[in-house]
Amino acid sequence: MVKVRTEDLLKNFNLTLVAGKDGVHRELFSSDIHRPGIEMTGYFDYYPKERLQLIGKTEMSYFLDLTEENKKDRMEQLCTDVTPVIVISRDMEIPDVILETADEAGVPVLHSPRQTTRVISRLTNYLEGKFAPFTAIHGVLVDIYGVGVLLTGQSGVGKSETALELVKRGHRLIADDSVEIYQEDYDRLIGNSPPLIEHLLEIRGLGIINVMTLFGAGAVRPYKKISMIINLELWDESKQYDRLGLDEESMKIMDVSLPKSTIPVRPGRNLAVIIEVAAMNFRLKKMGVNAAEEFSERLTKMIDQESDTE
């Protein structure tokens, strides 16, 4: 389980700790950010105290109009024992009552010079990346013409050897053997390599090779959006493989369904070239060009014409 603490926000963003230094080790458990506007009026029945609290110009303007007694009361209720952090944006001057109450409760207060919307956007993106659903899949992830292609298949089928040939042809390796996958948003999967095997390829009979050392920094990428899956399997004479490309398979990883193609492997087939073409064909389909459908329509028209002449 990924842990995100208030001190991580200090390290990664242009934020200044102004109060509550005893609470910098407090942990965040959600990517949700709350702006305590209704709480400033005194209504705390549904206060999400476990979230990051962000005070912008609207909340601060209302707070400054309160009596000193109400200011103290609101801050005491805002600063609970589970509140991870309070962020104040726009480089606004912070009243002493906020600083004193936060120090007493051990709730860190961070000051940002940025506009409120910018702060929300950057913090949300960071936290969603940290708390994104995660899984790991046995396979190889390669960037081919800008398309993230995940190669899957049983051990020994030739995934790593194919990835090596693709790298030699100018494409980029992201991960070999184990691909860590994070779900960003509802339809986006990002793949990367575990740190231990980053930039490495295992070639049977040769051993471990460092792709970046051999081919340069342009042959690797740290992460890539996964766009399609290609499953490599040993040629099965009893199986009927798709010859037109009209049958579209898909594979679901977490909550995202990705297009999947199955390529049979046997001597004489140049897998690297086939996979390159599959990636280019995927891009064409995204642009509205589907060769299989065009052929099917052409064939249907020809059959109809022959039927009319009879």
| Binding-site residues for Mg(2+) | 160, 202
C-alpha 237 chain-centroid distance: 39
> ∠ CA 270-275-277 to the nearest 5 degrees?
100
- The residue to which tokens 């589907």 are assigned: 290
Contacts 24+ apart (CB under 8 A), 71-75: 71/95, 71/97, 72/97, 72/101, 73/42, 74/39, 74/40, 74/42, 75/101, 75/102
User: Known catalytic residues?
Assistant: 138, 159, 177, 243
Angle between helices 271-286 and 159-168 (to 10 degrees): 70
CA 25/CA 21 separation, integer angstroms: 9
Number of Cβ within 10 Å of residue 5's Cβ equals: 17
189: β partners: 183
Q: What are phi and psi of 295, to 5 degrees?
A: -65, -40
Annotated binding site, which residues? 153-160, 202
Closest listed residue to residue 67, CA positions, set 106, 103, 29, 40: 40
Task: Measure Cα distances from 228 to 122, 171, 224, 246, 285 in Å.
Answer: 29, 16, 12, 16, 12
CA 232/CA 155 separation, integer angstroms: 10
Q: Is 286 helix (H, G, I), strand (E, B) or coil?
A: helix
